[in-house]
Amino acid sequence: MWSCPIPVGDRAERSGCGGYHGRYLVVDLARAAVMVGRFEEATLRAVLGGVGLGTALLAAWSEPGLDPLAPDAPVVIAFSPLVGGPFTTSAKFAVVAKSPLTYRLCDGLCSSAFALAGKRTGFDAIVLRGTASEPALLVITDTEVRLEAAGPLWGLTTTVTEQAVRDRLGPRYEAMVIGPAGEHLVRFATVQHSGRHVGRGGLGAVLGAKRLKAIAVAGDARCRIADPEAAGRLARLLTARSLGPATEKYRLVGTTANLAVLNRLAAMPAYSFRSSQVAEADRLSAPSLRAGAYAERRSCAACTIGCEHRYRTPEGGAVRVEYESLFALGAACGIWDNAILRRALARCDELGLDTISTGVTLAFAMECTRRGWLDSGFRFGAADRLVDWIEEIAHRRGAAGELLADGVRQLARRIGPEAERLAPHVKGLELPGYDPRALPLMAVGLAVTPRGADHNRMTAYEADLARRGDRFLATEADVVRLVELERRAALLDSLIVCKFLRKALEPFYETTARMLAVTTGWPIDADELVAAAERIVGLRRWYNEREGWRPEEDDLPARFFEEPLQTATLGELCLSRAQFLRLRAAYYKAHGWADDGSLPPEWLDRYRIGEIVSRLRGR
């Protein structure tokens, strides 16, 4: 369709510090134009990479209020200073855009060889704007940007598309792709690379709206490492720790281990959040899953942990099974048939659907049907229909496609106010597998994170389980832990290092500062990284404010305060509105934000948010 060379001068230029190329690429799909932007070192040092850098670029390159699926809405792919270096679990990239599900920030992470190949294009980030005139494959190397017609790929599933791209371009290329769900603008469609998904928030639909079926990258540009010997020594230490007790759960069992223990703690939502502790859960526990179906353990590129436990599907393939997927498609829908669930997960992956949003939306339709609010065939436990419903959603056809492809919030709006009080979402993002009534600090975490009901950008459940004593009696003093977890997550997601390594990084800020210092050559210390983490936390919130965030969005559905859970071991559990408001107020205060959660001018000045974004805007 078109190609643009990268100007030779732009190719030769390199950053003064290690770990970065010091430049980013902007591709305008509609105008067949590319532009190379430069980063100032101060900007990189302030927002690092990954979600930090991606959010800053998104803010700089988009006009406020753009519809996420509008032609001019940008999507940013951001790498990090550690990508391509010696540290375990660092082959990761972020995809950042405005979510078509929440209309707020969406920053997804994904692993593997795309990150390595993408950074070898010679850019620290890629900003995509505009829409291709027909289904397209975008190819980016260190010498040119090319848009190729991809009509024959349109309609293909994710793995088939990835293979087709490799067949077309050669093994040197790595591709991220969308499946049919992204093409049909399903608002929780994913982006896949090598079996891993940028899962939440519908970034697959953002690429679908641009008619981008795939983005392929390759190149030979390398970043230097400031102190290779010190980096090597630190990398060996972290690799050794990554094989120790701190990551044992992920290596030996995987996240499916969470199901049995969360169920025991009355925190695993089932039947669309009507229960949080059910006897049936045993059928989905890790030992039950393993029996006769375990296939293999795999890892992302450059990872020594290898948390990816794969199980055989009835069709003869294998699929990665994670706790969140089992919760959403299994427990939330009252489906306890292991084999059907493996098949359903494989279909979600192939069609490019977020398993959490798919399962939680389906389960909510089941609940509304049960309550007589929706006249539909969605029934809890209907295992024989699950895969058909998934196909319908991905292709926006049939009842499931018509009702569910825009997520829980839209479904609830169609049904009415009663359903809206119940609908399990925050800011439009469907809740993950932690019942807020059983985890009071997690309840606050789910409410306040910019991405919506999100378990991953704060890992707030850890605050509940790190609290000594009765976990239901969390007080303002415990919120410090919540803020700390959020900062750590922001740092890990910006550096980028896998969260599953987090327990092996102690002392946390000193270790991560050292990783960054030996890579970049910056004399960076723990205090500077704490400040960078806080800046990135606030930057994400600032983006949402700019896009119209209102204080009442930092809340949970009324149901969680009104409908108690009945549990076998802990009796009746309900979330106290007064406790929630106290904890939320303490959370805002701990950050130095206003009482309503908005960012005061002095906070914005202190962290130079406006300056950082406008410098990127000025390029």
Partner 1 sequence: MRAGQQRGPAVRVEYYGSVRLRAGVATDEVRAASVAELLRELVRRRRGLSPDVLAEDGTPRAVLVVLNERHVVDDLSHPLMPGDRVLLANPDVGG
Residues near ligand SF4 (CB under 6 A): 89, 111, 250, 299-300, 303, 305-308, 498, 500
Among 16, 245, 417, 523, binds partner 1 (CB under 8 A): 245
Among 59, 158, 123, 174, residue whose Cα is nearest residue 543? 59
Query: Interface with partner 1 includes 304 (CB under 8 A)?
Result: no
Residues in 41-60 at the binding interface with partner 1, rule: CB under 8 A: none
Query: Interface with partner 1 includes 469 (CB under 8 A)?
Result: yes
Task: Dihedral sign for Cα 405, 164, 119, 3, please.
Answer: negative
Please choose which of partner 1, ligand SF4, none residue 32 contacts, taking the beta carbon within 5 to 8 angstroms, the exact cut-off set by kind.
none
| Amino acid identity for residue 209 in this structure | A
Contacts 24+ apart (CB under 8 A), 561-567: 562/421, 564/437, 565/266, 565/274, 565/275, 565/276, 565/277, 565/435, 565/437, 565/438, 566/275, 567/266, 567/275, 567/276, 567/277, 567/438
CB of 593 to ligand SF4, least distance (A): 31
Identify the H or E element spanning 76. Answer: strand 75-78
Burial category of 196 from C-beta neighbours within 10 Å (exposed 0-12, middle 13-18, buried 19 and up):
buried
Rounded Cα distance between 114 and 195, Å, is: 12
Query: Interface with partner 1 includes 252 (CB under 8 A)?
Result: yes
Binding mask 306-345 for partner 1 (x = CB under 8 A): -----------------x----------------------
Query: Interface with partner 1 includes 104 (CB under 8 A)?
Result: no
CB of 87 to ligand SF4, least distance (A): 11
Please choose which of partner 1, ligand SF4, none residue 385 contacts, taking the beta carbon within 5 to 8 angstroms, the exact cut-off set by kind.
none
The single residue listed with the structure tokens 């914005």 is: 604
CB of 251 to ligand SF4, least distance (A): 8
Please choose which of partner 1, ligand SF4, none residue 89 contacts, taking the beta carbon within 5 to 8 angstroms, the exact cut-off set by kind.
ligand SF4
Rounded Cα distance between 451 and 522, Å, is: 31
Among 459, 494, 511, 544, binds partner 1 (CB under 8 A): 459
Rounded Cα distance between 547 and 545, Å, is: 5
Query: Interface with partner 1 includes 467 (CB under 8 A)?
Result: yes
Among 47, 57, 257, 301, binds partner 1 (CB under 8 A): 257
Identify the H or E element spanning 128. Answer: strand 125-129
Closer residue to ligand SF4 (CB): 62 or 299:
299
Rounded Cα distance between 68 and 209, Å, is: 9
Contact 234, 518 (CB under 8 A): yes
Residue 593 tokens, joined: 């934000």
Q: Which residues have CB under 8 Å from 550's CB, separation 6+?
A: none
Please choose which of ligand SF4, partner 1, none residue 111 contacts, taking the beta carbon within 5 to 8 angstroms, the exact cut-off set by kind.
ligand SF4
Closer residue to partner 1 (CB): 410 or 456:
456
Please choose which of partner 1, ligand SF4, none residue 300 contacts, taking the beta carbon within 5 to 8 angstroms, the exact cut-off set by kind.
ligand SF4
- Give the CA distances from residue 104 to residues 56, 370, 547, in Å, rounded to whole numbers and listed in that order: 14, 31, 7
CB of 413 to ligand SF4, least distance (A): 35
Closer residue to ligand SF4 (CB): 243 or 387:
243
Quick one: which segment of 77-85, 256-264, 397-405, 611-619 binds partner 1 (CB under 8 A)?
256-264
Query: Interface with partner 1 includes 253 (CB under 8 A)?
Result: yes
Tell me the residue ranges of DSSP E strands in 399-460: 425-426, 429-430
Quick one: which segment of 19-27, 329-337, 343-351, 464-472 binds partner 1 (CB under 8 A)?
464-472
The residue count for binding partner 1 (CB under 8 A) is 41
Rounded Cα distance between 289 and 322, Å, is: 11
Residue 173 tokens, joined: 């290329």
Query: Interface with partner 1 includes 171 (CB under 8 A)?
Result: no
Contact 410, 429 (CB under 8 A): no
Among 222, 264, 379, 413, binds partner 1 (CB under 8 A): 264
196-198 and 191-193 strand pairing:
antiparallel
CB of 432 to partner 1, least distance (A): 9
DSSP-derived secondary structure letter, 503: G
Binding mask 486-515 for partner 1 (x = CB under 8 A): -------------xx-xx------------
Task: Dihedral sign for Cα 578, 581, 587, 589, please.
Answer: negative
Closer residue to partner 1 (CB): 121 or 567:
567
CB of 196 to ligand SF4, least distance (A): 7
Among 246, 526, 590, 594, binds partner 1 (CB under 8 A): 246
Binding mask 192-231 for partner 1 (x = CB under 8 A): ----------------------------------------
Query: Interface with partner 1 includes 109 (CB under 8 A)?
Result: no
| Amino acid identity for residue 446 in this structure | L
Q: Which residues have CB under 8 Å from 486's CB, separation 6+?
A: 445, 449, 457, 458, 460, 537
Please choose which of ligand SF4, partner 1, none residue 303 contacts, taking the beta carbon within 5 to 8 angstroms, the exact cut-off set by kind.
ligand SF4
Closer residue to ligand SF4 (CB): 11 or 503:
503
CB of 576 to ligand SF4, least distance (A): 35
Residue ranges in 224-354 assigned as alpha helix (H): 228-242, 248-252, 257-264, 286-290, 323-325, 338-351
Please choose which of partner 1, ligand SF4, none residue 455 contacts, taking the beta carbon within 5 to 8 angstroms, the exact cut-off set by kind.
partner 1
Quick one: which segment of 176-184, 313-321, 465-473, 512-520 binds partner 1 (CB under 8 A)?
465-473
Query: Interface with partner 1 includes 243 (CB under 8 A)?
Result: no
Binding mask 439-458 for partner 1 (x = CB under 8 A): ----------------xx--
User: What phi, psi does 202 have (nearest 5°)?
Assistant: 85, 30
CB of 371 to partner 1, least distance (A): 29
Residue 102 tokens, joined: 């929440």
Please choose which of ligand SF4, partner 1, none residue 461 contacts, taking the beta carbon within 5 to 8 angstroms, the exact cut-off set by kind.
partner 1
Residue 449 tokens, joined: 């994170």
Among 3, 9, 342, residue whose Cα is nearest residue 141? 3
Residue ranges in 184-227 assigned as alpha helix (H): 203-209
CB of 584 to partner 1, least distance (A): 21
Chain positions contacting partner 1, by CB under 8 A: 244-246, 248-253, 255, 257-258, 260-262, 264-266, 286-287, 323, 434, 455-456, 459, 461-462, 465-472, 499-500, 502-503, 569-570
